[in-house]
Structures are given as structure tokens and as C-alpha cells.
């Protein structure tokens, strides 16, 4: 479910809360935009289902037009069918028709600088280029920003399979 724009975050206690039209400045994100994206990720922690790891994770994905989608981890007893917060956010955005993304914020209850795992990085690489920013919440007040290409060099992409997806 899309959340508010970074300048109008109004999430409910369950990490959802509504949709607000994208702002006109969707190409850039200043400090307040980063703060709002992190806040949306933190709000989504409340919806996490993590009875086995006791490690709730929240993510907020800003689309190219500025819409924000959130996700939380959903664990299952067999672990392999568990869903990661980043994948939930990407899946929600894709299901709503979005294919171009501007930034991702990830947090845990521990504010320990969590970054997406390799599988989530590969999912992001399906839709994002190497310069895609990932904001990690280390609890300092300023997110640690990493680029997808630095976290996943030589990602497998559509061209590796001989497929042209949106000109890539």
C-alpha cells in the first residue's frame, strides 16, 4: 500500500495509512526527504511479523514519481518462504504499476545500519541502476547512504538473459 509523500508522511501505527499524490520534485531528495523516507521505514516496523528471529525490519521505497511504498518482514516457520521487507515494498510498488524507483530506506528495531541482503539487492537490480541510493538507519540521525552498484557489483540483469526490458 502506498504511503504518503516524504513531505506528508501520515502512516498509521500498522505501517500503512494512505496515499498522497507525488510531489513535483520527485527527481531529487533533500535531507528532509531522507528523514521522511526513514520515518516511513520505521513506521512499517510495527507491522512486521518476526516471531522466529525477533528482528523486525521495515523498508520504504520511493518511486520515481515520489510515491512511497512500505514493507516489513514476514517470517514463516520454514524460513525459506519468509518475505523480506525490501521485497514486500518492491512487490507492492510493482503491483501498483511502478517500475522506476528513486531511493530505498531500510531499518531494524535495533537501528544497526542494516542493509538489504544479496537476494534483495538482486531484486532491486531488476529495476534500479547502479547509482540507486539505499539509506541504512544506524541510529545516528543521518542515514548511511550506499549505492546499489557498490553493494552488488556485476548484478545479473535482463541483458544477461538476452532480454530487453525498458531499453536495458
Q: Which residues are catalytic?
A: 86
CA distance 77 to 59: 22
Give the distance from CA 44 to its chain's centroid. 11
For the chain, give me the number of helices (H) and strands (E)? 4, 6
Query: Grid coordinates representing 1?
Result: 500500500
| Number of other CB atoms surrounding residue 161 within 10 Å | 8
Task: Judge contact between 104 and 55, C-beta under 8 A.
Answer: no
Grid-cell match 516511513, residue found: 40
Amino acid at each position: 500500500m502506498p504511503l504518503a509523500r516524504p513531505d506528508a508522511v501520515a502512516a498509521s501505527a500498522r505501517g500503512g495509512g494512505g496515499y498522497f499524490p507525488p510531489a513535483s520534485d520527485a527527481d531529487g531528495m533533500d535531507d528532509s526527504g531522507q528523514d521522511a523516507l526513514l520515518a516511513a521505514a520505521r513506521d512499517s516496523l510495527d507491522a512486521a511479523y518476526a516471531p522466529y528471529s525477533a528482528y523486525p525490519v521495515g523498508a520504504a521505497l520511493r518511486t520515481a514519481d515520489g510515491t512511497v511504498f512500505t514493507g516489513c518482514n514476514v517470517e514463516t516457520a520454514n524460513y525459506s518462504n519468509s518475505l523480506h521487507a525490501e521485497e514486500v515494498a518492491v512487490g507492492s510498488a510493482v503491483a501498483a504499476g511502478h517500475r522506476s524507483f528513486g531511493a530505498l530506506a531500510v531499518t531494524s528495531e535495533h537501528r544497526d545500519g542494516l542493509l538489504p541482503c544479496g537476494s534483495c539487492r538482486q531484486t532491486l537490480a531488476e529495476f534500479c541502476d547502479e547509482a540507486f541510493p539505499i539509506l541504512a538507519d544506524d541510529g545516528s540521525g543521518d542515514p548511511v547512504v550506499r549505492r546499489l552498484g557498490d553493494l552488488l557489483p556485476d548484478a545479473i540483469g535482463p541483458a544477461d538473459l538476452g532480454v530487453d526490458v525498458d531499453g536495458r
